[in-house]
Structure 1
């Protein structure tokens, strides 16, 4: 299934655009450092304040996140903006926190982003436009990199690591990352909510269940942009790709997705030999002549590290029985969302 590219005109005046009520759900865990910039991005949204509520779900943070959220709720009322502070402490999982937000939401369209993302001012307006088509159940916006300063951030930027274009081209079915995704509440009625104990891959799992079980279309709103920072250290980058490998294993178990080919000793020998004998000398000459920079020099070694980390994550991951569970929008055994104390 190919995602629909939204052709809604993005240069219309705001009052001529599609502006349905929308609930924005953001899970937060130890988000003290990110909250000030995130909140500034929410205050700067051009979406009519009367049509949107922001649900910030604390997932058992151990830093000053709860205090900052309480202050933000008070500030938002002064600004005429609806911000609700929710709490999910039973399950340590961003997917469980998102489910808490979904159950508390008052709107029929739900938008998702993350605490370390920076939604651009027209993000929400542009993300809503494809929903003018009643067959569209999911809309993915674009994720671009925040300006970086390290070689590894530039490496990831060249790879477009964060872009939704990779996930939208998935050979099984397209999907959007929850860093920038909107879903009709109606689409969740049959497919269910996120798997609360899944630690990675929940966005793909959700999008695939919705498309398979409800025959909903997924649209891509490229002009609905959030920014996200790349990993700046080798350990962070390695953990990111290890998580990608675990996700692939989990999705294989849940949906029969093909596993990534494991690199062999011959693969490593060939790539390292090619880098040492050909790529490195060429890059060194170009750097000396100011026709390249050090990212060109490290491209292959860092790429091989990512491949190895992803392979290891895929090989070592085991999907628990609990991670297979799906929560449902209307089910008596689940308690209502807990409003955080004032």
Structure 2
């Protein structure tokens, strides 16, 4: 492997280049799941999946368990390359202190939430931004102040106002219905010892850990909220399994913060993440840090919020074009998936032919990797499985109004849609259970599939509402690469 940074760090639009040199003492840990058959010389992983073959010199820089400490130009370059590839994760040994952080809380008509949040803030300074509450928000305590907006301007404008009033190097945005764990800032701040990191975000979990047995919506939201980005640490990169992090709780580097788009009342956090990434900044999600969120509990509230989130896709498609696409896959894989979904002998034969061609091409790219043909076949099979799941999820979530029309008139197609809805839901439930084997599932498979499909119907309704309002189908257009 040539030890060369894969990104030049330059920012978009002529903005000053992002600093990318990791400091001495910074450490990274290779994800050992990426080591081909335990051999650290061959690393296969990341999103999109790539293969790195390390030189003897690069291997000599890491310990037997895949840990690398930055100590010179070569280790600095190698660590950056592995981090950007998603094959290694940061293990910073130092970072800013909490007195370099100001907590900014946008709030409207939630005095109880503010009181609860102030009680758990620790020693960090806090600016509460009252976004036009009917009854003005009051605060108490040393280091806590309130900034009142003249009228309700929305959470994006409220956060921007709070960030503008802060004088510290870092700003932690926390919504008023959140309760951070005492050590959440201590866990996240070391990520900023990497000068290229603009955002570090915690895992957002449910505050009510024991909703009632029959409170189906509350149990679903508590266990599978759209704010919970899961148990796996990851770089935040568009069009990957971690495309954004929610602004309900995140820490930002103030010098990198361009401000939320105040014209957006939804998806402003996604827009911020994508603009920062486009500017060359790195963003990290670290589930070791926890923030609890007081989720909605009523079925109408939960589904109404999902519909509202769905409307944001049209805004994102207008600003970021293909990044908001409901499906992203190669044209060959798309053809193979369609062929498989026909569930005919001819379709299966066509799919096998196309997948075989993909495996052959991939085999050439893996030249030099031990057992490359087997690895290529395995990777192609996993890609096909992911493609089927992606298509099934899109049918149920993004395209259900289109799928509904033929289902009304064709029993065969109706059966197909129902089978897809059940199969995709069961696979998704299983995937979630396997990702956290020690945690008790919030819902069983049947109730999860039921709630998942209601979630999809609500989100899809909002998506189509946004598309029709904007008269732009960009949020419905899949991206097919060559």
Sort the TM-score into its range (normalised by shorter chain). 0.7 to 0.9
Distance in 2 (CA, whole Å) between partners of 1:138 and 1:308 is: 32
* Maintained 8 Å contact 1:6/1:221: no
Relative to structure 1, the CA distance from residue 275 to residue 204 in structure 2 (aligned partners, 3 Å threshold; closer, same or farther) is closer
Query: Is 2:267 the counterpart of 1:201?
Result: yes
Aligned to 1:313: 462
Aligned to 2:276: 210
Deviation at 1:238, TM superposition (A): 0.8
* Maintained 8 Å contact 2:199/2:252: yes
Deviation at 1:174, TM superposition (A): 3.0
Deviation at 1:103, TM superposition (A): 0.9
Aligned to 2:8: none
Distance in 2 (CA, whole Å) between partners of 1:169 and 1:132 is: 20
* Maintained 8 Å contact 2:96/2:189: yes
* Maintained 8 Å contact 2:221/2:297: no
Relative to structure 1, the CA distance from residue 237 to residue 268 in structure 2 (aligned partners, 3 Å threshold; closer, same or farther) is farther
Distance in 1 (CA, whole Å) between partners of 2:173 and 2:451 is: 31
Query: Is 2:87 the counterpart of 1:7?
Result: no
Distance in 1 (CA, whole Å) between partners of 2:203 and 2:129 is: 23
* CA deviation profile, 1:64-113 (whole Å, cap 9, x unmatched): x52x32xx1xxx12xxxx11110123442000100110110111211111
Gaps of 5+ in 2: 1-83, 327-393, 408-412, 426-440, 472-482
Q: TM-score, with normalisation over the residues of structure 2?
A: 0.52
| Corresponding residue to 1:174 among 226, 243, 248 | 243
Deviation at 1:316, TM superposition (A): 0.9
Query: Is 2:118 the counterpart of 1:57?
Result: no
Gaps of 5+ in 1: 10-15, 280-291, 321-342
Distance in 2 (CA, whole Å) between partners of 1:125 and 1:61 is: 32
Distance in 2 (CA, whole Å) between partners of 1:84 and 1:269 is: 58
How many residues align? The count is 280
Deviation at 1:159, TM superposition (A): 3.0
Distance in 2 (CA, whole Å) between partners of 1:37 and 1:119 is: 10
The structure with more radius of gyration = 2
Query: Is 2:102 the counterpart of 1:36?
Result: no
* Maintained 8 Å contact 2:133/2:152: no
Q: TM-score, with normalisation over the residues of structure 1?
A: 0.72
Deviation at 1:295, TM superposition (A): 5.0
Distance in 2 (CA, whole Å) between partners of 1:25 and 1:94 is: 11
* CA deviation profile, 1:211-244 (whole Å, cap 9, x unmatched): 212x111122322210013331110111121022
Distance in 2 (CA, whole Å) between partners of 1:121 and 1:205 is: 29
Q: Match of 2:133, SS?
A: coil
RMSD: 3.1
Relative to structure 1, the CA distance from residue 94 to residue 300 in structure 2 (aligned partners, 3 Å threshold; closer, same or farther) is same
Distance in 2 (CA, whole Å) between partners of 1:194 and 1:275 is: 36
Query: Is 2:399 the counterpart of 1:262?
Result: yes
Query: Is 2:96 the counterpart of 1:18?
Result: yes
* CA deviation profile, 1:1-38 (whole Å, cap 9, x unmatched): 767744236xxxxxx76316111111001112322221
Aligned to 2:79: none
Deviation at 1:252, TM superposition (A): 1.1
Whose relative contact order is higher, 1 or 2, with alpha carbons under 8 Å and at least 6 apart?
1
Query: Is 2:448 the counterpart of 1:299?
Result: yes
Q: Match of 1:33, SS?
A: helix
| Corresponding residue to 1:159 among 203, 221, 224 | 224
Distance in 1 (CA, whole Å) between partners of 2:225 and 2:161 is: 31
| Corresponding residue to 1:225 among 290, 295, 300 | 290
* Maintained 8 Å contact 1:123/1:226: yes
Q: Match of 1:226, SS?
A: strand
Distance in 1 (CA, whole Å) between partners of 2:171 and 2:178 is: 17
Distance in 1 (CA, whole Å) between partners of 2:190 and 2:89 is: 11
Query: Is 2:303 the counterpart of 1:238?
Result: yes
